Structure 1
Amino acid sequence: MGRTTTIDASTGQLASQLSSGNGAAAASEDPNQYMADTHCRADGPDTVDPGCLTLACPPSPNGATGTPVIWKEAPKAITNPGWTDWIPVTGPTCLYGPEPHNILDDIAARILTDFRQLPLNPGTLTTQPFPNTLIGAPTNFYATTTPQTFNLTILGQNVHLTATPTTYTYTYGDGQTLGPTPTTGHPIPDTQWLTTTTQTSHTYTTTGNYPATLTTTYTGTYTVNNGPPLPINGTLNLTTTPQTIHVWKTETALVADTCEQNPHSWGCPGTND
């Protein structure tokens, strides 16, 4: 009897259940469900991989006993599927603990908490122009983020976790927001600043100083001892440090001299009239 890991279609919860080959259909980005088959041992009733007969699990740092397993996969949409070997792993791997069939459940119960405690980089919010922009003109914003990976030890198992940015919320500081949206935005040439409207740009209607931030929503997957990627049931929101945008207004006037000719002329640096 093995352990399958699926997503409940009605609740969206990650669920593991004992299985002798029966899979439950579920809605998920990954169309497959996975099973760590603990029959991978020399005295197992249905050992099919000769590696099971020769694999000796190395001792874990905490002295837990290692049990060889073969990772299996099957489509979630098929009831009572036929399990096949998960292709990226061609031989047995190990799970550590007195009851290896419970390990995936125990990790799934705490993985979201561990995910939310990782030192993820919230990404970067860039503004064009910055720090000064003009009232009534489009100011371009864009996000720069990347997937981040971490290697953890959880309950004696090697867990590789991947955090992926999926949506973004732009807070412009004047009470207006955009998102959550999958759009990261993009940089534009400085010749287009204040004249080009992008999907993530914003136009300020009053002068002032506004704290702008970016909130990135991360989703996660994790693998246990080089097994298949399992989804983390939950997300993590990270917000950048506010950056102050100064919104100015423009005035025009006719002048007789350039600032080089008359440094005290209207509009020249250091003058107010």
Structure 2
Amino acid sequence: MVKILRVGVLLLVLSAIWATPAPAHSSNDDGRQLSVGRGETALTVGATFIFNPETGKSEPRPGASPADEDPNQYMADTHCRADGPDTKDPGCDALDCPATTPGGPEGTPVIWKEAPKAITNPGWTNWIPITGPTCLYDAEPQNVLADIAARILNDFRQLPINPGNLQAQPFPHTLKGGPTNFYTTATEQTFDVTILGQAIHLTATPANHTYTFGDGTTLGPTPAAGYPIPEAEWLTTETRTSHSYTQTGNYPATITTSFTGTYSVNNGPPLPINGTLNITTPATTIHVWKTQRALVADTCQQNPNSWGCPGTEPTH
């Protein structure tokens, strides 16, 4: 009889659990509430902070120490904007963000993401959102795209862009009066950086080149990057970037490449950077020789010190 009563109690307890309504919010392993709705005005982060998705700011919960600092950082992903890549998201097509005051600014539909502050470049696309589409009204985050656009050229010019190298054929010795083929190895390069808390993808593209041959003559600016040619054509083929030296000597040749750039914010569309970055390569010394003809009595195999043989003093 006692066993039957215990079973009955157990059944009653299970029945009460199954009858409990589902909560309006779900929780992750650390107890933080994750909202599944839209238009939230507050979001509990852990047990200490309250995050406001309308302003992008977190504050200590009532009763917590004001000196406490939120260990997390937040990013407003504007993927619901009209030109964004995810406008087909079910939460985007029905979310309006009207002004909260007469004549005030409209809000911006955003998805908030969270990452620890200890991570300097969290790669926001890999972090799970902490809200569904919601409206952002704070003036400072709304201007983040304009703030990035105002400084993007300076950040672009600080990138460690590789200017490539100036190549010459023949090299290091070429002939007076003959064509010397020049070309550059500069290539397109990409960079991922964080600016104002946003994930920025930059692309640097070589657009124009100025060849300085070291004898007082230049070529360019020109989009021609040049190209290598077979060794059998070095002394006979003249390319768009070839140069002929009129005097013997040693000449420091350089190339200045002008890079243009584009950038995208949080995987958004590529935007042009209004300005260029010009980088000049270190000098490459070209030794220009002249040719002479002479009759000799024996070959270099017969007499290695004969005129014109390898290792003998060349005549400039």
> So what's the TM-score if we normalise by structure 1?
0.68
Question: How far apart in 2 are the matches of 1:142 and 1:88?
Answer: 43
Q: Which has the higher contact order (CA 8 A, sep 6+)?
A: 1
Query: Which residue of the partner structure matches residue 123 of structure 1?
Result: 164
Is the partner of 1:115 in helix, strand or coil?
A: helix
CA contact (8 A) 1:71 1:227 kept: no
Question: How far apart in 1 are the matches of 2:178 and 2:158?
Answer: 40
CA contact (8 A) 1:95 1:157 kept: no
Change (3 A) 1:67 1:217: closer
Is the partner of 1:71 in helix, strand or coil?
A: coil
Question: How far apart in 2 are the matches of 1:63 and 1:258?
Answer: 78
Is the partner of 1:104 in helix, strand or coil?
A: helix
Change (3 A) 1:222 1:261: same
Does residue 136 of the first structure (1) align with residue 177 of the second (2)?
A: yes
CA contact (8 A) 2:188 2:204 kept: yes
Query: Which residue of the partner structure matches residue 31 of structure 2?
Result: none
Counterpart of 1:204 (choices 242, 245, 253) is 245
Change (3 A) 1:255 1:65: closer
Question: How far apart in 2 are the matches of 1:149 and 1:263?
Answer: 53
Shift of 1:144: 1.6
Is the partner of 1:108 in helix, strand or coil?
A: helix
Question: How far apart in 2 are the matches of 1:169 and 1:148?
Answer: 20
Counterpart of 1:187 (choices 206, 217, 228) is 228
Is the partner of 2:80 in helix, strand or coil?
A: strand
Question: How far apart in 1 are the matches of 2:300 and 2:75?
Answer: 81
Counterpart of 1:262 (choices 303, 308, 312) is 303
CA contact (8 A) 2:258 2:279 kept: yes
Q: Which amino acid aligns with 1:150?
A: F
Question: How far apart in 2 are the matches of 1:249 and 1:111?
Answer: 50
Change (3 A) 1:139 1:104: same
Question: How far apart in 1 are the matches of 2:223 and 2:87?
Answer: 33
Question: How far apart in 2 are the matches of 1:154 and 1:233?
Answer: 17
Q: Deviations over 1:135-154 (max 9, x none)?
A: 00000011122211111111
Query: Which residue of the partner structure matches residue 150 of structure 2?
Result: 109
Counterpart of 1:71 (choices 64, 69, 81) is 81
Shift of 1:69: 4.7
Shift of 1:101: 2.2
How many residues were matched structurally?
Answer: 208
CA contact (8 A) 2:209 2:220 kept: yes
CA contact (8 A) 2:75 2:197 kept: no
Q: Deviations over 1:151-189 (max 9, x none)?
A: 111111111111111111111111111111111111111
Is the partner of 2:143 in helix, strand or coil?
A: helix
Query: Which residue of the partner structure matches residue 262 of structure 2?
Result: 221
Does residue 176 of the first structure (1) align with residue 186 of the second (2)?
A: no
Structure 2, unaligned runs of 5 or more: 1-36, 41-55, 59-69, 93-109, 114-135
Change (3 A) 1:261 1:220: same
Query: How large is the Cα RMSD of the aligned pairs?
Result: 2.8
Question: How far apart in 2 are the matches of 1:185 and 1:67?
Answer: 42
Is the partner of 1:219 in helix, strand or coil?
A: strand
Question: How far apart in 2 are the matches of 1:88 and 1:126?
Answer: 45
Structure with greater Cα Rg: 2
CA contact (8 A) 1:61 1:156 kept: no
Q: Which amino acid aligns with 1:247?
A: V
Does residue 244 of the first structure (1) align with residue 285 of the second (2)?
A: yes
Identity across matched positions, percent = 62
Is the partner of 2:260 in helix, strand or coil?
A: strand
Question: How far apart in 2 are the matches of 1:186 and 1:89?
Answer: 44
More helix per residue: 1 or 2?
2
* 1:6-25 equivalences in 2 (<5 Å): none
CA contact (8 A) 2:190 2:204 kept: yes
